[in-house]
């Protein structure tokens, strides 16, 4: 989306990799529009941090506290160095009125979140652990700008994140992920998962879905 250059001068802000931008339950008076970098949105569920989403350029975050006048519904952490526009609550209405592209972008993001919820349900319909976890990787790949250009993909996620998306216990998820590691399908690090060839997982999911039709 092409935005007026003056917006960047007036509202531009930066966060370093790993920086906490805001925490769940805090009062929130600012919202952000990402220009560069990725932001992880996490929520505490049963004392565990669950990743709701990893968002990137063109995404808004922090708008819910402003629109609903509620505390932050989730935490936001910079995954890598992030450049963003920061809008204050008091400027929000006039910005949306004066720059309709921003309002339209917000609408698209809300529609996308509904699509995302439906996509997550598709994962839960798969009744076998291996293809179910494969579908978690596929869902993440579908949102990755490199998907379709390169077979190897890196996601800044943990096994606990995978378990939460798969709706499975962390121990069972770890067992399945370790089996993928042993088969050479992925590499596991403390802060990321490297998928060697996303097409392996795509095939696994497609074969499973055929049996569910």
Q: By C-alpha distance, which of 195, 130, 193, 186 is closest to 157?
A: 193
88 is a contact residue toward ligand CMP (CB under 6 A): no
Within 10 angstroms of residue 57's Cβ, the number of other Cβ atoms is 15
Question: Of these, 21, 74, 157, 186, which contacts ligand CMP (CB under 6 A)?
Answer: 74
Contacts of ligand CMP in 121-160 (CB under 6 A) = none
For residue 91, the minimal CB distance to ligand CMP (Å) is 15
Residue 43 Cβ, how far from ligand CMP at the closest point, in Å?
7
CA–CA gap between residue 59 and residue 32 (Å, rounded): 8
In degrees, to the nearest 5, what angle opens at C-alpha 18 toward C-alphas 37 and 46? 110
Residue choice 72, 132, 202, 208 for contact with ligand CMP (CB under 6 A): 72
Relative to beta strand 48-55, strand 82-88 is unpaired
Q: Residue 24 CB, nearest distance to ligand CMP (Å)?
A: 7
Instruction: Name the residue whose CB lies closest to ligand CMP.
Output: 65
Helices marked H in the chain — which ranges?
5-11, 63-68, 89-98, 100-125, 129-142, 159-166, 170-182, 198-212
CA distance 51 to 45: 10
d(CA 162, CA 137): 8
Our CB check for ligand CMP shows the closer of 76 and 133 to be 76
Q: According to CB under 6 A, which one of 56, 62, 131, 156 is a site residue for ligand CMP?
A: 62
Which position among 3, 7, 23, 64 is part of the footprint of ligand CMP (CB under 6 A)?
64
Residue among 33, 34, 40, 52 that touches ligand CMP (CB under 6 A):
52
Which member of 21, 65, 78, 168 binds ligand CMP (CB under 6 A)?
A: 65
- Name the 3-class secondary structure at 19: coil
Which of positions 2-41 make contact with ligand CMP (CB under 6 A)?
Answer: 28, 41
Q: Based on the number of CB atoms within 10 Å of its own CB, is 120 exposed (0-12), middle (13-18) or buried (19 or more)?
A: middle
Nearer to ligand CMP, 119 or 209 (CB): 119
Residue of 11, 33, 61, 201 interacting with ligand CMP (CB under 6 A): 61
50 versus 209: smaller Cβ distance to ligand CMP: 50
> Where along the sequence are the contacts to ligand CMP (CB under 6 A)?
28, 41, 52-53, 61-65, 72-74, 76, 113
């Amino acid at each position: 989306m092409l935005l007026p250059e003056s917006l960047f001068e007036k509202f531009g802000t930066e966060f370093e990799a790993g920086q906490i931008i805001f925490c769940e339950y805090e009062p929130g008076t600012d919202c952000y529009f990402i220009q560069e970098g990725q932001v992880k949105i996490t929520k505490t569920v049963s004392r565990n941090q669950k990743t709701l989403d990893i968002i990137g350029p063109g995404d808004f975050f922090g708008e819910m506290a402003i629109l609903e006048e509620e505390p932050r519904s989730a935490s936001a952490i910079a995954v890598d160095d992030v450049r963003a526009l920061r809008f204050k609550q008091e400027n929000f209405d006039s910005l949306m009125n004066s720059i309709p592209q921003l309002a339209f972008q917000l609408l698209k993001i809300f529609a996308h979140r509904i699509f995302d919820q439906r996509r997550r349900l598709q994962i839960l319909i798969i009744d076998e652990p291996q293809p179910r976890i494969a579908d978690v990787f596929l869902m993440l790949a579908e949102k990755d700008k490199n998907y379709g250009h390169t077979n190897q993909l890196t996601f800044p996620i943990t096994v606990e994140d995978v378990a939460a998306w798969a709706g499975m216990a962390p121990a069972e998820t770890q067992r399945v992920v370790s089996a993928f590691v042993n088969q050479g399908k992925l590499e596991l690090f403390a802060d990321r998962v490297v998928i060697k060839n996303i097409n392996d997982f795509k095939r696994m999911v497609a074969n499973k879905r055929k049996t569910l039709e």
